Amino acid sequence: MEKNVKEYLAFKDGRTKMPEHLAIRKELTGVLFKNKYLEFFTRTTIFPPIVLHLSISTVLFWYGIATLDIPVSSGILAFLGGIIFWSFAEYNVHRFLYHTETNSKFLLNLQHKAHGIHHQYPIDPTRLAMPPLPGLLLSGCFFLGFWFVNPTYVFVFFPGFMVGYLTYISIHYAQHRVKSPIYGPWKALWRHHHIHHYVDPYVAHGVSTRIWDYVFRTMPKRKSNQKATAPLDV
């Protein structure tokens, strides 16, 4: 049995507090690539992806309504459907791609570069959102997939999907850079994500909403709430 799965089983059996590859490091940040140019493209502040994707989504939605003659009411419904679908995709990618224990070197490398580095350095402000270049490539793949399903309504559905994504990265950024709010529902959402990082990375997969954790029964146990303390809340 490989080390990665052994660590997972040790954690689930209560023999260790956290799998080593997801444990928090003392340093603020870590390096993914020795090449400085590759490393540069793995970092971003929160604003460039928001401006980029919001601009593209606005143009696409306008094109769908103004040029393709999609009825405004239908366009709004498709837009809202895109937001809901994003939340479902967010949960499933986080749970079944980023936190699937495996001995595959390819998948482990992908997990580490896309997500594991964030678990190791959770308050690094340059790794709380996907940088513009890989973000464009990945969002382009999603657009193409939706286009094959419906080449017309993709222009109003995809902007909703991306607004869901932008909501997610904004909330996620705040969860790691802003102290837990006093307002109950927001405080619960902050605590939910802090449990995922600081107590049990195999529960609480939803970031922008807890709905899918309720649906798929991955809500954390109540006692976990007493253990989840983020650095900014200390």
> Model confidence over 100-124: pLDDT tens digits?
888 888 999 999 999 999 999 999 9
| Closest of 165, 168, 162 to residue 210, by C-alpha | 168
**pLDDT tens across 55-68, in order?**
999 999 999 999 99
With a pLDDT cut of 70, the percent of the chain lying above it is 94
Q: Please, where are the H alpha helices in 150-210?
A: 154-177, 184-198
Q: How far apart are CA 1 and CA 19, in angstroms?
A: 15
Residue 7: the pLDDT is: 83
pLDDT of 1:
45
With a cut of 60, say whether residue 234 has pLDDT above it.
Answer: no
* Residue 102 near residue 189, CB atoms below 8 Å: no
For residue 32, give the nearest of 96, 110, 101, 107 by alpha carbon. 110
Average confidence (pLDDT) over 206-211: 97
Q: Which of 190, 184, 195, 189 is nearest to 222 (CA)?
A: 195
User: What pTM does this model have?
Assistant: 0.92
Q: Give the pLDDT of residue 233.
A: 62
Per residue, the 3-state secondary structure of 100-135, as one string, reads CCCCCHHHHHHHHHHHHHHHHCCCCHHHCCCCHHHH
> What would the two tokens of residue 207 be?
């970031």
